[in-house]
Amino acid sequence: MSDIFLYADETSGTLKSEVEIDLGGSLIKNIATPVSASDASTKGYVDSMMGASSSIAASKSSKAIFIESPTASEDITWWYCLDAITFTELDFVITGTTYVNVTVRHDPNRSAIGNEVIAGGTGVSSGASGLKITTGFNDATVPASSWVWIETTGLSGTPTSLSIVGHYTED
């Protein structure tokens, strides 16, 4: 198990970080140089540890789904979302031939029509590079305790697989 800790030492008034990485019996431990908690540069120190340039960035997560031999009428549950999220990117790729129309939906009630992440769905054509969507979302914000699912509403040719990766941040 690997752990990362960031804490303030109350006795000395310093901010410390501790990283522990377990490599199957070999424990690597790194304690960073303390910084004064009252120092104005503390925020920059924390940001550099978290990989952000000016503020601690929201954590980005991803979920993927693979559908073998998709048909023109798929209705497949992707996942149940406990926390509210916002999609920031959707990546699609099909193998086989030609075209699949895909709709990503969400709603707390799985038997509802649901809200479309991209209005009218997304036409995905075959090609090694796939399709990346980062703008033009209709309803990218998924409320907490909601279902996320995939529907296909048309295809051309005989696709052998459809892969979708959704990238999102927790709200």
- Condensed to tens digits (0 to 9), the pLDDT of residues 98-144 reads 899 999 999 999 999 999 999 988 999 877 789 999 999 999 999 99
Closest of 111, 114, 128, 124 to residue 152, by C-alpha: 124
Closest of 70, 94, 88 to residue 150, by C-alpha: 70
- Rounded-to-integer distance, Cα 8 and Cα 99, Å: 55
Angle at Cα 169 formed by Cα 164 and Cα 170, nearest 5°? Answer: 120
Q: What is the CATH number of domain 60-170?
A: 2.60.120
pLDDT of residue 96: 86
Provide the pLDDT confidence category of residue 18 given band limits of 50, 70 and 90: low
Closest of 41, 34, 33 to residue 14, by C-alpha: 34
Average pLDDT of span 58-68: 91
Provide the pLDDT confidence category of residue 58 given band limits of 50, 70 and 90: low
Closest of 109, 104, 95 to residue 167, by C-alpha: 104
Closest of 65, 144, 149, 145 to residue 103, by C-alpha: 149
Pick from 20-29, 40-49, 107-116, 155-164: least confident: 40-49
The structure's pTM equals 0.67
**The token pair that represents 139 in the structure block:** 């309803």
pLDDT of residue 16: 52
- Rounded-to-integer distance, Cα 119 and Cα 139, Å: 8
24: left (phi over 0), alpha (psi -120 to 50) or beta: left
- Cβ–Cβ < 8 Å for 166, 141: no
> Which sequence spans correspond to the domains of the chain?
3-50, 60-170
Higher pLDDT, 111 or 34: 111
Q: Where are the alpha helices (DSSP H) in 11-94?
A: 42-50
pLDDT of residue 59: 81
